[in-house]
Structure 1
């Protein structure tokens, strides 16, 4: 059954999907520049590694889209995302992000106008479905930019 969606909602979702794909492309390009040992290196004690940022993105996107918008159980442990200091390779991190984004894209493609305008509680915030999608795309882009900057330094 095809999801009933207005032209504005369709355009919004198509652009969100495009931005997700662009971020995935840039993440892969950035990680290709890093040596394996650089993925978990922290520039200083108060900064996060590329690995931490990717683990954090997985947690955030899962919480907002799959749990918040999709109704899955929210199992996120945000602080743990920044405590991880290794254990996953570049390939494994990208495979996890890629698999998650396949789920996210599927969820977004099936959102109705009603789901985009309904409100959901995520991380203590009341956000519309559109607000959740906007947050995820913006947050993903922000951290993708950090990773791109890191790899060019």
Structure 2
């Protein structure tokens, strides 16, 4: 049951990420920063895609994804269409990886030590969705503040 709940929540929130990127009236605003807003919505989107492809795709789904976290924050002016394609591919990857997990897998130790300590896979998957939602809220606020 928890796996189905996780699949549903990741799908819901990654689709909301797509909606946020699609909702920018001015595509250039996706890449704006201003005053104390250091990360653009585009970079936060790339960061979320990289994060999930690394921690769920590469580690749990064995996709072979290799993360370049620095590029998540340094790349600029990627088209809205390409960002949406990346999110769409991430939705499919997350669903596929989670669909292969069992309840027993959630109780196992996550394969990487993150934050300097071990944790269960289930715990880390919950952490990852809260990370997604944290940045999703930032993107929503970014759009409402800087989309002009």
Q: Does 1:126 align with 2:128?
A: no
Q: Please say if residues 3 and 102 of structure 2, whose CA atoms lie closer than 8 Å, have aligned partners that are also in contact.
A: no
| Aligned residue among 130, 139, 148 for 2:131 | 139
TM-score, structure 1 as length reference? 0.81
Q: CA deviation at 1:74?
A: 5.7
Aligned to 1:146, the other structure's residue is in SS state helix
3-state secondary structure, aligned to 2:39: coil
The one of 62, 67, 70 aligned to 1:76: 67
Pick from 127, 132, 151 the counterpart of residue 143 of structure 2: 151
Q: 2:50 aligns with which of 50, 55, 59?
A: 59
Q: 2-side partners of 1:21 and 1:113: how far apart? A: 19
Could you tell me how far apart the structure 2 residues matched to 1:26 and 1:70 are? Answer: 23
Aligned mates of 2:30, 2:130 — CA distance in 1: 23
SS at match of 1:16: helix
Give the whole-Å Cα distance in 1 for the aligned partners of 2:108 and 2:65: 19
1:45 CA drift (Å):
6.8
- 1:46 Cα offset (Å): 6.0
Residues 125 and 67 (structure 1 numbering): CA distance in 2 closer, same or farther, change over 3 Å?
Answer: farther
SS in 1 for 2:34: coil
SS of residue in 2 equivalent to 1:121: coil
The CA distance in 2 between the partners of 1:29 and 1:73, in whole Å, is: 28
Normalization by structure 2: what TM-score? 0.83
Task: Give the whole-Å Cα distance in 1 for the aligned partners of 2:139 and 2:37.
Answer: 16
Q: How many residues align?
A: 142
Gaps of 5+ in 2: none
Gaps of 5+ in 1: 1-9
Question: Following superposition, which runs of at least 4 residues in structure 1 exceed 6 angstroms of deviation?
Answer: none
Deviation (angstroms), 1:33: 2.7
Contact kept, 8 Å, 2:61 with 2:96, in 1: the verdict is no
Alignment partners' CA distance in 2, 1:126 and 1:74: 22
Q: Report deviation, 1:110.
A: 1.8
Provide the C-alpha distance between the structure 1 equivalents of 2:113 and 2:71, rounded to a whole number of angstroms.
18
Two-structure CA RMSD over aligned residues (Å) = 2.0
